[in-house]
Chain A
Amino acid sequence: MRRAGSLARSFVSFWIDFVLGEDWRLAGGVVLALAVGALLAAGEVLSDSALAVAVAAAILLVLIASVLAGVRRQG
């Protein structure tokens, strides 16, 4: 029973680590950028090109913020 519980915990832990990686904020930020993009797409607010560039820029900013946060944590 204990072994089954340990296996289950390892299984869940593997998937959380696999999906979220080392920084859950980075994963969450990317998901947020895509979600905002989806809303903009649904509302047809921007042209395709503008939407693509805007969402890509948002993902880039999320990565930069994650790196800066990492530097602050180490500093």
Chain B
Amino acid sequence: MSFKGVFLEGLEVVFIVITFGLNAGSIPLASAGALVALGVIVGVAVLVRKPLSRVPENTIKFAVGLLLTTFGTYWAVEGIGFFAPGRESVAWPGGGWAILVLLAVWGTLSPVAVRLLRRFRGTRALAEDVA
């Protein structure tokens, strides 16, 4: 599971570097930026590793999943513009602020879904015990 998560994030970085590099007309520059960002993240992670290790793993996974879903929805919808005649990105109402709205929606729906699934899983386990 950890490998899949890290692999997914790595793939994202590759796509972002390629996208920004193509837009800027310089993939080496975008790659250099990504390397600098890697250095900063590793440095920060080393500095905050102790308090970070106290955060429950599932909480981190949940937060990361929320962010991935939010940005994934935002960019996937923007990308639909490729199929429009002008090939312009689809513009969200409110522009970048729509990301916060999406985060609020996913952040509200997800705990409800978790509770729903947990409750019914508990019910089935109880039913099996009784049987």
A residues with a Cβ closer than 8 A to B are: 17-18, 30, 34, 37-39, 41-42, 44, 48-49, 51-53, 55-56, 59-60, 63-64, 67, 70-71, 74-75
Contact = CB atoms under 8 A, between A and B. Distances in A.
The DSSP consensus for interface residues of chain B is: helix
A53 B93 contact: yes
Interface string B97-127: 0100010010001000100110011011000
Nearest to B8: A18
Contacts of B7: 18
Interface of B: 4, 7-8, 73, 76-78, 80-85, 90-93, 98, 102, 105, 109, 113, 116-117, 120-121, 123-124
B123 A41 contact: no
Contacts of A39: 83
A67 B91 contact: no
B131 to A, nearest CB: 14
In order of increasing CB-CB distance, the 6 nearest A-B pairs are A49-B93, A38-B83, A41-B84, A48-B91, A67-B113, A37-B80
A63 B93 contact: no
Contacts of A30: 76
8 contacts: A41-B80, A48-B90, A49-B93, A60-B105, A63-B109, A64-B109, A67-B117, A74-B121
A56 B109 contact: no
Contacts of B105: 60
A63 B76 CA distance: 16
Contacts of A70: 117
A63 B117 contact: no
A34 B75 CA distance: 11
Contacts of A53: 93
A42 B117 contact: no
A30 B81 CA distance: 16
A71 B117 contact: yes
A67 B102 contact: no
